[in-house]
Amino acid sequence: NAGVMQNPRHLVRRRGQEARLRCSPMKGHSHVYWYRQLPEEGLKFMVYLQKENIIDESGMPKERFSAEFPKEGPSILRIQQVVRGDSAAYFCASFTGSGGTNTGELFFGEGSRLTVL
Amino acid sequence: SQQGEEDPQALSIQEGENATMNCSYKTSINNLQWYRQNSGRGLVHLILIRSNEREKHSGRLRVTLDTSKKSSSLLITASRAADTASYFCATLSGGYNKLIFGAGTRLAVHP
């Protein structure tokens, strides 16, 4: 059973370009979270999705950022017109959804590290 | 906003010593979880303690929870160089199964 798969692991973009980060949750997991981590800091919640639904996007910047988790395929975090401040590691995590996180942990991918030049 | 705040921010010890990390949080919780992150890697779940539990053990790890003080501690006994990592506490928030993480404690264990 493969873990949470994120790609690309490293992405370099110039200011103004678009970044697309993909996350395939663990098999059988229907809930996905995206977190952002700046160097030497903790993880900041961005968005929580279930299949075809955004449940909580309270941590997502209102502009330039969007996320989806379609019925088929991976979850996508999209950042339009990137700026230097978007440089960070973006982590995806999944869990089964059964019983909620009160009964278990989140499973994290290895992250996608975005560098904006 | 951050929910958990770890202290110390950084801890440096020798192999064989115990390492204690503390976490404080602000709102009521359903559970509190501890995660480990090796440099450049993703987070790995270590242990979960529910709000009605006071102490939990897993191998060399011991976690305590004091809901009256809104604090938790993670103790790693007989530390090893391989324990070198950042350790984060995380709490449920908002009723949407959303984990909120603290800023972490960076632990360095020297051989």
Contact (Cβ atoms closer than 8 angstroms) between residue A100 and residue A107 = no
- Structure tokens that stand for B108 in this block: 């360095």
**Facing A106 at nearest CB: one of B2, B45, B94:** B45
Burial of B7 (0-12, 13-18, 19+ CB in 10 A): middle
Q: Give contacts of A94 with chain B, Cβ < 8 Å.
A: none
Residues in B 18-37 with any Cβ partner in A closer than 8 A = 30-31, 33, 35
In chain B, which stretches have pLDDT less than 50? 1-2
Q: Does A90 touch chain B (CB under 8 A)?
A: no
Best interface-test mutation with B: which of A95, A102, A103 has the largest number of B CBs within 10 A?
A102
Query: From the CA of A56, how many Å to the nearest CA of chain B?
Result: 7
Dihedral sign of CA atoms A106, B49, B60, B11 in order: positive
Chain B: closest CA distance from residue A96 (Å): 11
Q: What is the mean pLDDT of each run of 10 residues along chain A (117 residues)?
A: 88 98 92 92 91 92 95 96 97 76 75 97
Q: Could you tell me the two tokens for B12?
A: 């440096």
Structure tokens given for B13: 């010890």
Residue B1: per-residue pLDDT: 41
Rounded to whole angstroms, the Cα distance separating A26 from A108 reads 9
